[in-house]
Structures are given as C-alpha cells and as structure tokens.
Amino acid sequence: MFTIIAGTRPEIIKLAPLYFALQKQNVNVCWIHSGQHDADTYDFFGIRPDEKINLNRKSNSLSELTSLLVEKLSNLHLFKLSNNIVVHGDTTTAFCSSLASYYTKKKVFHVESGLRTHKDEPFPEEKNREMIARLSNLNFAPTNEAKQNLINEGIKEDKIVVTGNTIVDATLYAKSKIKTNTQDEVKTILVTAHRRENWGQGMHNICKALNIIGESYKDIKIIFPVHPNPELKKIIKKEIISEKIELCNPFDYGNMIEKLCKSWLVITDSGGIQEECVTLQKPVLVLRNTTERQEVIDMKAGILVGTDINNICSTFNNLYYDKNLYDSMLLPLEKNPYGDGTASQKIAEILSKV
C-alpha cells in the first residue's frame, strides 16, 4: 500500500494527478492530510482524505509544528499500516513525514525533488528539501537540472528519476475545467506574495511598488489575493492605497487558474505559480532574489526582480512598452521545461512496480 501525505495547498494540487494515476495502475493508495493548512483544496479534485490530523497548534512556531507532526504521524493508524510513503516538495509536512518514515523504517518517495537555490532562501524550504532527499529511497526530479543538484549533493544516480513536474498535469486539468481562458481586455496583473523572507520590509516594498504601478498606467488593474497570515494581512491592508488594486481572499484552485488565464502578467514570490505561468504562457516577475525554478529564468519566461521598488517598477515598465520583450516570454508547451503533462503517469508506472 502507498500512502500520500500532504498538508498544504501546493502539495494537494501537485499530488492529486499522481493519486489518480496510481488508481489507474490499480495501486492501493490512501491519503493522509497533515492539517498544516486547511483542506478545502481537495474539493476541486473530488478527493476525500482517508485520515486528517488535528494539530491543535497554539502558535505559528516551526518547532511546534515539527514536533506535533512527527509525533502525530508516527502514532496514526493509517501511517502505521503503510510501508511506502509519498511526499511532495519542501514543506514542513513533507519533511516531518519523511523523518517519521525514517524512524519507523518505511520507504519514502519524494515527488519534485532536487529544487535548489543553494542559499538559505526560501526559508525553511531549502533545508527541508535537502534533508528529504537524503531520507528518500527514490527521488522524482522534475528536470535534469534538479537531477544534477541531487547528484552534486551525493545522492546516488540510481535513486533519481527525471519525470517532469506534476504541476503541469494539474494545471492542464484545471484549465480544461474552467469556463473561459480568454485574456481580459484591460491588462490584468495578478499578484501573490507570502514568502517568509519577504515578511517585514520586503512586503512593504512590494506594496509600495504596486501602488506606483497602479497609479502610473491607465489600462491596467491589479488583483491581489491576500494570504491569510494575520501579520501579512495587516501590512498589506495598511500599505495598499491605490484604487487600481483589488484586495481579495485567496481563490480556490479552479478560480486561480481562471484568473491566471485571464491575466496579462503575474507578479509573485510563489514557486508553483512560476511553473503554472510557464504552462499557461504568462510572463512572470518573481519577487525574490533567488529561485529554485531557475529554468523559468534561464528560458526567459520570468524575470527575478526581488523586492526593490525601482527594480519592480522599471521591469514592469519595460514589459508594458516593449511588446517584443513581452512576446519573447511566452513559451509554447513543447518548450515547457517542466514537461508535457505526463509526469504523474510516469511516476505511477514506476511506483506500481515497487
């Protein structure tokens, strides 16, 4: 039996196609929701976790979350039954699931392995994924660059398989379900920002840059779904003053993909959205100094702008007035560095033979 463990929105989105692919391979697969985030993303895919953990967190401390997850997972009935654990990416859920699996001598299969910035950002994700790779019996790397990162860290090549990224599978599935993918007549800019390294001054700078952009161009509108973290909400609601910027609650996955399809440009510090932008042919400005999705930058589908106000505004201005630059960032699907939408099938075929 294989057990998928997920606890955040990105994990659910990227593991859902694999869950269905395993079922098609007649693999006995179940799902544990760790409780790190809310479980509402499951509704879009029609998935019902077999078990949900109630963490009863008293703070936002990473130490508390880590200790709770390792302890509760280790004692969970469904976790005890399975010898094969599937985790995704770089979350605290993925790290704790891998650690608990190691403690109880279970096999770990790591989807989206090998992403690196080679710095301490993003925090704590960079170290999470390094440790998960070492705890894993098999690493599914989305790209050759990710594979090379793992090899450089001493992971044996026979423990690595390049498969593409399951986010392409999920994005194409969601796109097929939405009502319309026609771009808005006005230039709509979709913004997301939530990274821990951007908390504080970085977020203040992002908001100030958005205000400047909002007031400098007549035919644009900015949609900014605000992350539920109370500290972030406080900063954003205080700093955003332009009437061109619409603050709203986060979208469910289907609505998010629809908003992406309708957008002219995306400005984000998210990792997964960078991959979705490439898949949906949307230029992306990345509000970070480094990215583990370096393929997006190397193929010129995205531009790193960090949180410097002048850099964000000047790069936006270049894209606004230079159509050739804008068009050059629209990669056709066959050039997508993250694959063609068959990653989940490839992974499921491998796991079915374990």
Residues marked active site are found at 194
Q: Which two tokens stand for residue 171?
A: 């994005």
Q: How far apart are CA 181 and CA 194, in angstroms?
A: 26
Sign of the Cα pseudo-torsion (45, 270, 5, 170, in order): positive
Q: How far apart are CA 183 and CA 177, in angstroms?
A: 16
Helix (H, G, I), strand (E, B) or coil at 140: strand
In degrees to the nearest 10, what's the CA dihedral of 269, 13, 282, 238? -40
Classify residue 28 as exposed, middle or buried by CB count within 10 Å of its CB (0-12, 13-18, 19+).
Answer: exposed
Residue 139 bridge partners (DSSP): 110, 160
Decide: 257 and 175 in contact? Cβ < 8 Å: yes
Tokens 């106000």 correspond to 309
**Which one, of 51, 86, 49, 94, lies nearest residue 70 by Cα?**
94
CB atoms within 10 A of CB 67: 12
Query: How far lies 153's CA from each of 127, 172, 245, 342, in Å?
Result: 12, 33, 44, 27
CB atoms within 10 A of CB 252: 14
Helix (H, G, I), strand (E, B) or coil at 35: coil
